Copies of this chain bind each other. A is one copy, B any other.
Amino acid sequence: MKKNKPKYKLIIDAAVEVIAENGYHASQVSKIAKKAGVADGTIYLYFKNKEDILVSVFEEKMGQFIEQIATAIDQKSNANEKLLTLIEMHFSQLAKDHHLAIVTQLELRQSNIDLRLQINKVLKPYLMVIDSIINEGIEQNIFRDDLNKKLVRQMIFGTLDETVTNWVMKEEKYELVSLAPSVHALITNGLSTR
């Protein structure tokens, strides 16, 4: 299994750094190889082609991202707390990894549509985690049962994503994680006065 070899991780991490520092389109394979401390050709012992590096970056990082969130959520017993935890974790993980935040929010979006579709596949498990919280909230009678669930998921993900992207584009000048309770309140209670 190639994924367990040390150079695999070396290259993945180098790719994140190089993309964050140079931008998506200026990230040559040779730069990644140099940063990883391997020869150009070595890259191709571990990855089919450049696109495969990028998809793998997303898979690896997103895999950890989701796992962390899923673990944290399991320790909460109701949907409201789970949703808050998801928001906090989503924010905190990106807040603590500057490079990763830039890569996921800005750089990887410049990829062509084929690559974007592959990235969407990787994102699927995360969307399913959101879905499960929604379902649980409805079962627990915490969330309304007249919701279009798919729309709810889109609202939650769209809000988090837009919030993080704004934060990254503002060069992370403010505290992201501290916004979590407000975002949670907005999503659960909406704008309206009662």
**Residue ranges of A at the interface with B (Cβ–Cβ < 8 Å):** 23-25, 80, 106-107, 109-113, 116-117, 120, 134, 137, 141-144, 147-148, 150-152, 154-155, 157-163, 166, 169, 179, 182-183, 186-194
Contacts and interface: CB of A to CB of B under 8 A. Distances in A.
Contact of A193 (B113, B144, B169): B144
10 contacts: A80-B192, A106-B116, A110-B112, A134-B191, A142-B193, A155-B162, A155-B163, A155-B183, A155-B187, A194-B194
Nearest to A162: B158
Contact of A192 (B23, B116, B144, B169): B144
A179 B192 CA distance: 19
A142 B194 CA distance: 9
A111 B157 CA distance: 22
Nearest to A112: B25
